[in-house]
Amino acid sequence: MKVVNIHANVYRLPPSVPWEDATNKVDGLEFIVVEVTADNGMTGTGISYTVDIGGTVIKTLIEDYLANLIIGMNPLDYERIWQHVQRQSRRLGLGVNSMAIAAIDTAIWDLIGKIHNQPLYKLLGGARDRIPAYISEIDLRSDGTIDQLTDRVKGYIGQGYRTVKIKIGKPELEEDIERIAKVQELLGPGGTVLVDLNQKWSAAEAIQKGTRLDKLNLGWIEEPMLYQDIQGHRQLKQAIRTPIALGESMYSKQQFLEYLKADAVDIVQADVAFVGGITEWLKIAHLADAFGKPVAPHFMMELSLHLLCGVPNSYMLENVVGGSLTELGLLEIPIEVRGGMGVPSELPGHGIVFDRDALQKHLLDPAALRNTFAGGSK
């Protein structure tokens, strides 16, 4: 068996609700979709994504450089394929190349699932058949009100969620504290609030403000400061008892290893699209397990669902409001969290079946994008 064809496209569309956090306002999600076809006629579908920028770069990297490296290889040799494309692209550093590899790697794993007629989570270990989920919103608009926040949270509770993640990072910490307290009041006993800073604070601010938040019994504080600052996270972890979660801005198992060795993280949030796909994500999950840390992957709910059900040290599934493929109207077969629980598809592979007509409406034309990109970073 061998790979005979690889094709990639990139699609751009806005989240189904506005996204804004302490450091960024998102205009568009870019999904890179790859089809890998074997000589037995089976096709695996892979996916990666970017926020606002870079989708066309990843598509070009795949089609002009990486695809030819894989043609003729056996799709069952996923590790050999991953190592081959990683070695050839490593001089690009970390980021774009690992996101391109992720699209290929998830297609390979989808194809393997179809070859063996097994759902992905069983191929990855089958540690469980369902996983608790939390709802995650990206809504920190300057004109947003606490009443609007509480109205949204009431809706999440009505959907069965008992854990809610909100963005913080207002100019005045007292406003963040008030927002947290209101959400906790609504959730009541047994409910949990998670908060996300998106790297807003400096190291000094993180200790000062994190110490004040420490009294609120939060489930975690996510990305409190720049992700490169391992020492700052270690010092914060020593200063507070609230767990620290991070990982969405890291791209390799080596980066996670440095955090784990420094005892600077409590919950590992590797994003399958950013670390190079399922092959590398599994290594990060097992590495975290060796250090006694749970995994709670960032975004990519449909793929993360399988990952979490495959490994033993799973924590929770993130369902981002406005960002699931189902909410975006891109799937033929909806994949949804029900009653606060995620249940993976039993279809062979990852079970993500795109509505091709819906995708086509969002096909990205590089010429139309060129000279119009303004960015959303604050």
Catalytic residue numbers, as ranges: 167, 298
Q: How far apart are CA 47 and CA 300, in angstroms?
A: 9
Secondary structure letter of residue 65 according to DSSP: I
Please name which of 160, 139, 163, 161 lies closest in space to residue 149, comparing C-alpha atoms.
139
Q: Which amino acid is at 265?
A: V
Give the number of other Cβ atoms within 10 Å of residue 123's Cβ. Answer: 18
**Local structure of residue 93 (DSSP, 8 states):** -
Q: Distance between CA atoms of 249 and 177, rounded to whole angstroms?
A: 25
Where do runs of H (alpha helix) occur along 129-191? 146-158, 173-187
First to last CA, the chain: 49
Q: Distance between CA atoms of 63 and 81, rounded to whole angstroms?
A: 15
